């Protein structure tokens, strides 16, 4: 998963050896520290740059905000975009342009930990309440699209009563243990250190854990729904997208041949189709 923080950035060989040594000597401590790092976004938003071109940064809660691009008309469709837990609003630049070209008003939810360089936790335990709060304070929305872990968070929010006429799930992981295993693999963890890492992430994301009945939530969804996935997504297999779309009675599945887990957001035809879906009146 591209959102996983690389333990080898900077001086890959040296840092990787230090990490492996720490995991061997202090597996519990290292596993817990890496779990916190895994859930702490490395990207942050520069308000001065983000508000260029007429966008407005609206406070939502401590550490959270909404980046608003106004619509062309008072009755413009209102769309909310939710980046992944280590995602950045820049990833949605193409989709925002397409939505605004269609006349939609666009809000981007700035999740906890993305307004400061100081690392703060942003897992499912933070994402799901953020979606609820944004809907309550800045909604209602005509459409919502969420990417990666936040798309999983959108499923949890639906289970708790959040609703919207149109929903789009992008690169959605429904098998959370599989995603955790990938994160552990990218850190190069094994044995007790890996077990502690995975258990700590699950604990920090509670009550939104791997055992949650996502299929029941998906089956209950009857609004217009689009599931978008890259065939070559390295983090979430396309089978997950098929399972999610098949479980939703009214869902349409779009499998994109280009791009990958994050790169999908830069594929022009895919974002144009997604924008048409989200901005439909």
**Res 52 pLDDT > 60:** yes
pLDDT at 12: 64
Q: 87 or 64: which carries more pLDDT confidence?
A: 64
Q: 97 or 14: which carries more pLDDT confidence?
A: 97
Which sign does the torsion angle of CA 159, 203, 176, 4 carry? positive
**Res 9 pLDDT > 90:** no
Residue found by looking up tokens 């243990």 in the block: 177
pLDDT at 74: 87
- SS3 of the chain: CCCCCCCCCCCHHHHHHHHHHHHHHCHHHHHHHHHHHHCCCCCCCCHHHHCCCCCEEEEEECCEEEEEECCCCCCCCEEEEECCCCCCHHHHHHHHHHHHHCCCEEEEEECCCCCCCCCCCCCHHHHHHHHHHHHHHHCCCCEEEEECHHHHHHHHHHHCCCCCCEEEEECCCCCHHHHHHHHHHHHCCCHHHHHHHHHHHHHHHCCCCCCCCHHHHHHHCCCEEEEEEECCCCCCCHHHHHHHHHHCCCEEEEEECCCCCCHHHHCHHHHHHHHHHHHCC
Average pLDDT, the chain: 90
pLDDT at 263: 95
Give 101-158 pLDDT, tens digit per residue.
999 999 999 998 888 777 789 999 999 999 999 999 999 999 999 999 999 999 999 9
Least confident of 42-46, 139-143, 195-199, 202-206: 42-46
pLDDT at 131: 97
pLDDT band at 207 (very low <50, low <70, confident <90, very high): very high
């Amino acid at each position: 998963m591209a959102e996983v923080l690389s333990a080898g950035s900077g001086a890959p060989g040296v840092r990787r050896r230090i990490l492996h040594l720490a995991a061997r000597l202090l597996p519990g401590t290292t596993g817990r520290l890496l779990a916190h790092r895994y859930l702490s976004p490395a990207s942050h938003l520069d308000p001065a740059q983000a508000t260029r071109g007429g966008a407005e940064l609206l406070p939502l809660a401590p550490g959270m905000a909404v980046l608003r691009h106004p619509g062309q008309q008072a009755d413009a469709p209102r769309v909310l975009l939710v980046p992944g837990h280590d995602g950045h609003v820049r990833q949605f630049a193409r989709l925002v342009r397409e939505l605004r070209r269609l006349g939609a008003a666009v809000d981007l939810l700035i999740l906890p930990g993305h307004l400061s360089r100081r690392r703060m936790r942003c897992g499912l335990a933070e994402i799901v309440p953020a979606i609820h709060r944004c809907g309550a304070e800045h909604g209602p929305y005509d459409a919502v699209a969420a990417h990666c872990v936040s798309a999983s968070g959108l499923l949890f929010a639906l289970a708790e009563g959040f609703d919207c006429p149109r929903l789009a799930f992008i690169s959605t992981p429904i098998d959370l243990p599989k995603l955790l295993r990938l994160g552990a693999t990218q850190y190069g963890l094994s044995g007790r250190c890996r077990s502690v890492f995975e258990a700590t992430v699950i604990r920090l994301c509670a009550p939104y854990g791997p055992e949650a009945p996502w299929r029941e939530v998906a089956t209950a969804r009857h609004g217009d729904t689009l599931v978008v996935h890259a065939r070559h997504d390295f983090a979430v297999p396309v089978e997950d997208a098929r399972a999610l779309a098949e479980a939703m009675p009214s869902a349409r599945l779009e499998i994109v041949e280009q791009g990958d887990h994050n790169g999908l957001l830069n594929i022009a035809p895919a974002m144009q189709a997604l924008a048409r879906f989200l901005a439909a009146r």
